[in-house]
Chains A and B, each alone.
Chain A
Amino acid sequence: MQAWLEWARGPAFVFSFVFLLLGLLRHVALTAWEVAHVWRRAGDKKLPLGKLLRTTFLWLLPLTRLRNRFWFGLTSFVFHIAILVVPVFLAGHVALWARGLGLSWPAVPNAVADVLTLVAVVTAVLLLAQRVFSRATRSLSRFQDYALLPLIAVPFATGFLMMHPGSNPFDYQATFFVHVMSANLIFVLTPLTKLSHMVLMPSTQLVAELAWHWPVDSGSAVGRALGKEGDPV
């Protein structure tokens, strides 16, 4: 188990983390390139930049969307806070960041981290439940929409057990291994799934806006690309 743990924290982690960084960089580069490409070919080049910036920031502030689906929006907001704060600001993780990067920053108190960890697990379950029990959401959901939530809950649950070894019924090193490997898996999946919204989210408003600036008759080209030429819209 010791050797497996070393592997998970060593080469497996290095692979996953570099894949995460380069993969997200790839998304940013592709988006920039594609946006530039569309902009060059755009029929109408007048972009409402002020409105775009405003909607982008408003979109990033989830409170504005609470009007729409209050409970879902609230759960999602809390969930995001928890899963962003704990991996970066947990004291144990800060020590790891310092060892790996040589950079250090203040950590949140362990009690706060404990609460946020539990919040992350609970909100993940709640989000999944709201997805499963709403017919409209269900019809829009793909496999990854269901699978990613429990996957994200795993490192938080195992991390909590590691911080409270007295109440951990499993072997410490096995828990550690599952903790590290589930996080590695999330890193690898991030550039490949909707988790890449962590870098693509700010560009959504711009991309959506650009679609309104396509040259005349682009619709038929889209139809061709989709293989649905001639289908009624």
Chain B
Amino acid sequence: MTRRLTALKTVLWLLAGVLGLLTVVRFLRGLGATTALTDTAPWGFWIAFDVMSGVALAAGGFVVAATVYIFGRERYRAFARPAILTAFLGYAAVAVGLLYDLGLPWHILNPVAHPQHHSVLFEVAMCVMLYLTVLFLEFSPVILEHPRLQRPLLVRIHHALKKVTIPLVIAGIVLSTLHQSSLGSLFLIAPYRLHPLWYSPYIWVLFFTSAVALGLAMVISESFFSAWLFGHKPRRELLANLGRAASFVLLLYVALRLGDLAARGQLARALEPTGHAALFWLELGVSALLPALLLQLPRVRSASGGLFGSAALIVFGMIGYRFDVCIVAFARPEDMPYFPSWMEIAVSVGIVAAAMIVFVFFVEHLRVYPPERLPSDPCAERAGTVNSRLSTLDAPPGPETVRPLLVGPAAAPRRYSLALVLGASLAVALLPATALFGEQVQRTPVAAPRMLDVLRLPASGRPAALVLPGDLELRTAGLGPRPALLAASRPERRGSVAEGDPGLPGGHTQGEPVRALLLDADRDGRTVLFAHDAHVERAGGETSCGRCHHQNLPFDRASSCGSCHADMFLVSDTFRHQRHVERLGGNASCTGCHDGAEGAKTRAKARACDDCHRDMVVADSVVAPRAGGLDGHAVGYMDAVHGLCVSCHEREVAARPGELPDTLADCGTCHGREDPGRLRRQGPYLPHSARRAQGLSTLDPRPSTRGPRAAPGPYRVGARPAE
């Protein structure tokens, strides 16, 4: 018995440790880092479990209070105190759980500060708030009984509270009836998002009936559980009566639910072979049909296993009902599915564990159960605890004196604090990187370009325009935006405007078929057409690859940009350390690259790549190799390509003024399909003409107006990342 209790409390403290750590993370890093909630799934596990199920699970309080105090069934008085304590802790858990779920937790006071009396949620909030107070007042006589609290003022409060028991109980029943049903009414606002098998204009009746049955089931399961835990006998006959009552309530609930579906003509949906119909029957079966029928059988009712099993079915089934209404049967955008993160589940479980710790504490220190059922003598236990704990403190302890003191009830605080610490440490180790270090930059892998047939429009004094087949097109600067629907990829229609096509930009009717690269490295649908062949021609023919392909993979003549600049925005590491270790001969080879046998072997203290790979750098490239040798870092694809193309275009404009248009180095030359205004707004660069007037390069970022994060860092070829 004691061992059971100790084991359970250890596990509870472990879960509380997880909760403690996650609390820090939740309030430091916010909802985004801890939950799977999004703007399209703004509520999830916490609302479904902590609030919807939590309130319903605590329904035992008002059901038993009504039975004992209103209907005068004195036999059930023994259940009143634990049921009211369970309800109080349950509602406290609801309030605490809400603090986690609200993005701005102090807004929990808004229903009071800014009352919206038309809102159902306002009613729920006020009822829960008031009922929590009522439950506290209902339970406080149990606290005030404690021998240490027999002060004159407290005794007077105690007596006053006892006098108002009946009004308190009535208030509790009224408030419970109101908000248990209103939790269902909340969904009246979303008739088209809740599946018809769950939506009903009378959903509040269903919520209330199911809460009453669930309250009875909670009293039964809680009695069996605490009897098992504290080692006393459950009052099986009384519990069987409660089970019988629960069964009638459940039958009523089933009749209401099916009758409502039939009356609204939706019953046929339950017989269709759909996932929702299967879920409906599974939920109704587990939560109501099966336990109601089982509890009608005297044989099941009189057996502990049958009674407890049926009650457990009701509890799990009714939690399932709340989850179905809240999450599963609630329509969400198809491409935005919601599944809770482990941290959401762990927080909810941790709150329940914390509530259970408080429950056990109250049972151990107050008269929650009738006196003959006290688990053990707390005074004797406490004396032993203190003294033996004292002697463990002496350091250094001898071998034989320590071990016996660390087992048994004497080591309670040590044991439970260790469980707490262990839980918190495990939670830290399981945290995702976003929760530990804040929002991380997502990697954007670069996709290879595609080779396309396009039309090149004749141009005099201007860069030639390339036109894409289909609805894509690219225009160089100076040509107005105009859609061109061509099928240039079909050989028979190459080079001419098809009949019915609106025509080529600039009034052209003929184009020269050429090949071009379609660049969309981050696959965002915004493309650039790159006339590769024309650039080869301009750069000097077949031997000129190295002008742009400034570094190549071994034995390669023109490695594609993305083979090293493998991420759209982030620096990529092109160096394979382990491969070098294997090829160069293991440990003995370290000093081959790292200078000296001494010291930390970092990249900064290693030889440059081109010390050995001399062919890697192309001699006459327009991209200058990094001063001090290559270190294996490749800047983001965007920076690399901008650095190469824009700086070369700038040089060309400067070298041949008048011959080439001044706008050749502007964004629109390549990003012709983009709205120039948008490019200016988005891009880190100022318009080329403005930059030239100031004698700056196009690649210099625009001055920041919103602090350092507004403008990305300077874009230069070979920029070295901070290590």
Interface residues of A (CB under 8 A from B): 2, 11-12, 14-16, 18-19, 22-23, 25-26, 29-31, 33-35, 37-38, 41, 91-92, 95, 110-111, 140-142, 163-166, 168, 171-173, 191, 194, 197, 200-201, 203-204, 207-208, 211, 214, 218, 221-222, 224-227
A147 to nearest B CB, angstroms? 13
Select B404's contact among A15, A142, A207, A226, beta carbons within 8 Å. A226
User: Within 8 Å CB of A38, what residues of B?
Assistant: 386, 390
State A110–B387 Cα separation when bound (angstroms). Answer: 50
User: Within 8 Å CB of A35, what residues of B?
Assistant: 393
Closest to B424 in A: A22
Q: 1/0 per position for B572-606, CB-CB distance to A under 8 A?
A: 00000010010000111011000001111110000
State A165–B598 Cα separation when bound (angstroms). Answer: 10
Further contacts, 5 of them, CB under 8 A, given A11-B430, A140-B399, A222-B390: A14-B428, A14-B436, A172-B586, A222-B387, A222-B391
Given contacts A194-B396, A226-B388, contact A19 B425 (CB under 8 A): yes
User: Within 8 Å CB of B429, what residues of A?
Assistant: 11-12, 14-15, 18
B428 touches A34 (CB 8 A): no
State A191–B420 Cα separation when bound (angstroms). Answer: 13
B602 touches A110 (CB 8 A): no
Within 8 A of A (CB), among B388-425: 388-391, 393-396, 398-399, 401, 404-405, 410, 413-414, 417-418, 420-422, 424-425
10 contacts between A and B (CB under 8 A): A12-B429, A15-B425, A19-B422, A26-B417, A34-B389, A95-B600, A165-B597, A203-B393, A214-B390, A222-B388
Q: 1/0 per position for B122-160, CB-CB distance to A under 8 A?
A: 000000000000000000000000000000000000000
- Asked if B655 is an interface residue, CB under 8 A from chain A, the answer is no
What does DSSP make chain A's interface, helix, strand, loop or mixed? Answer: helix
Closest to A107 in B: B600
B261 to nearest A CB, angstroms? 49
Residue of B383, B394, B587 contacting most chain A CB atoms (<10 Å): B587
Q: 1/0 per position for B429-447, CB-CB distance to A under 8 A?
A: 1110000100000000000
A169 to nearest B CB, angstroms? 8
B22 to nearest A CB, angstroms? 13
User: Within 8 Å CB of B384, what residues of A?
Assistant: 221, 224-225
- Asked if B710 is an interface residue, CB under 8 A from chain A, the answer is no
A141 touches B399 (CB 8 A): yes
B410 touches A22 (CB 8 A): no
Select B602's contact among A95, A165, A211, A222, beta carbons within 8 Å. A95
Closest to A141 in B: B399
Select B599's contact among A22, A91, A222, beta carbons within 8 Å. A91
User: Within 8 Å CB of B599, what residues of A?
Assistant: 91, 110, 163
- Asked if B297 is an interface residue, CB under 8 A from chain A, the answer is no
A197 touches B404 (CB 8 A): no
B600 touches A26 (CB 8 A): no
State A65–B576 Cα separation when bound (angstroms). Answer: 54
Select A15's contact among B389, B413, B426, beta carbons within 8 Å. B426
Closest to B398 in A: A140
Given contacts A26-B417, A31-B393, contact A2 B588 (CB under 8 A): no
State A18–B581 Cα separation when bound (angstroms). Answer: 34
User: Within 8 Å CB of B401, what residues of A?
Assistant: 226
User: Within 8 Å CB of B424, what residues of A?
Assistant: 18, 22
A222 to nearest B CB, angstroms? 5
User: Within 8 Å CB of B426, what residues of A?
Assistant: 15
B425 touches A204 (CB 8 A): no
B583 to nearest A CB, angstroms? 14
User: Within 8 Å CB of B431, what residues of A?
Assistant: 14
A225 touches B394 (CB 8 A): no
B414 touches A30 (CB 8 A): yes
Select B410's contact among A166, A168, A200, A225, beta carbons within 8 Å. A225
B438 to nearest A CB, angstroms? 13
A207 touches B387 (CB 8 A): no
User: Within 8 Å CB of B395, what residues of A?
Assistant: 197, 200-201, 204, 207
Closest to B386 in A: A37
Closest to B578 in A: A2
Given contacts A19-B422, A110-B598, contact A225 B428 (CB under 8 A): no
B569 to nearest A CB, angstroms? 22
B398 touches A166 (CB 8 A): no
State A194–B578 Cα separation when bound (angstroms). Answer: 40
Given contacts A15-B426, A31-B393, A142-B399, contact A191 B590 (CB under 8 A): no
State A191–B424 Cα separation when bound (angstroms). Answer: 14
Given contacts A164-B597, A225-B387, contact A26 B418 (CB under 8 A): yes
State A164–B578 Cα separation when bound (angstroms). Answer: 18
A3 to nearest B CB, angstroms? 12
User: Within 8 Å CB of A225, what residues of B?
Assistant: 384, 387-388, 391, 405, 410
A218 to nearest B CB, angstroms? 7
